[in-house]
Amino acid sequence: MPELPEVEVVRAGLAPAVTGALVVGVTVLDERALTRHTGGGSDFESRLTGRVVSAAARRGKFLWLPLRSDADGTPSEEAVIGHLGMSGQMLLRAPGAPAERHERVRIDLAHPTHGELSVVFADQRTFGSLAIDDLIATPDGAPGGHGWGEASVPAQVAHIARDPLDPAFSDSGFRRALARKDSAIKRVLLDQTVVSGVGNIYADESLWAARIHPETPARALPTRAVNRLLGEVRHVLDKALAEGGTSFDAQYVNVNGQAGYFAHSLNAYGRTGEPCPRCGRPIVRVSFTNRSSHFCAHCQRVPRPGVDEPSTAHD
């Protein structure tokens, strides 16, 4: 599933192409792409056509395009919200371009600078979705997400926590949340109501970098270990962003259909049996809910409560 870096790459690619553009037409080819929308395909098409896109925004793994009724600066009160699910793609295409394989929705735009173009939502496995949703005020009064300066967020995204790269993310709030959690630290990292944007790949990579076993109880981590983990999460996400995200197959691509190459930089995820880049011992893989955890059993040991803390020393 696309995580923060992959979704942010898509958002950044959409932003210059859609900001200020007029929606001149919408075609819903498959209503399974509208599972989060309260109306059907005709409602989605009619409500979106004629609107002006204010920006391309993101919080965690959710994207949204704030909408105005016209181009005179009227504040946006609604947005098209998108979630890529397992295999969703948001592609920029020339007007009249042939239909994409697994195309579900096409939004035709007229941009004051770039002219006509189309945003195509394609989704092989149909777990992704689009919807028109109300924008509501953020509780902390800070901008709702990346690429969006207004203190509002789609109602369907309001329960999603800020991500570690958000300027309004609270480090102290994150530490307090972990101190209350008996759950394994990896499970907490994947809880989008605690911290957003981190999925299985980047959780494994961050925990490897911080030398923390994924099954360590969150509340057992000392403050300096939590701080180290948060720093590694940010470092891993930043590096993945710089490399265009992680692509293992053709399902994740940017708006131009290009794959990311962070997969070549992975230290733990997907490297079962390969030598740990730090100590040379094999990376192990264990079942974790419906997924897997990848880690080094030597570098990432479960600490004994009140005795051990994950070491920062090199072997």
Output the six-digit token pair for 81.
Answer: 């919200």
Catalytic residue among 2, 66, 164, 310: 2
Residue ranges for the binding site for DNA?
102, 125, 181
For residue 51, the one-letter residue type is R
Alpha-carbon Rg of the chain, whole angstroms?
21
* Secondary structure (3-state) at 95: coil
* Cα 184 to the center of its chain, rounded Å: 22
In sequence order, what are the residues at sequence separation of 6 or more whose Cβ sits closer than 8 angstroms to the Cβ of residue 127?
A: 85, 86, 87, 88
Q: Of the listed 36, 234, 239, 291, which one is catalytic?
A: 291
Q: Please, are residues 221 and 185 in contact by the beta-carbon 8 Å criterion? A: yes
308-312 own/partner pairs: CB under 8 Å, 24+ apart: 309/222, 309/224, 309/225, 310/210, 310/211, 310/212, 310/213, 310/216, 310/225, 311/211, 312/211, 312/228
| Residues in CB range of 110: below 8 A, 6 or more apart | 21, 22, 24, 116
Binding site membership: which residues?
102, 125, 181
Q: Name beta bridge partners: 83.
A: 62, 129
**Alpha-carbon distance 135 to 121, whole Å?**
22
Nearest to 236 by CA among 282, 268, 214: 268
Catalytic site includes residue 291:
yes
Is 186 marked active-site? no
Burial of 224 (0-12, 13-18, 19+ CB in 10 A): exposed
* 58, 59, 61, 228: the active-site residue: 61
Coil vs helix vs strand at 106:
strand
Residue type, 47: R
Spot the catalytic one: 3, 6, 8, 205: 3
Instruction: Give yes or no: 3 in active site.
Output: yes
Is residue 290 within 8 Å of 303, Cβ to Cβ? no
Q: Any idea which residues carry the catalytic annotation?
A: 2-3, 61, 291
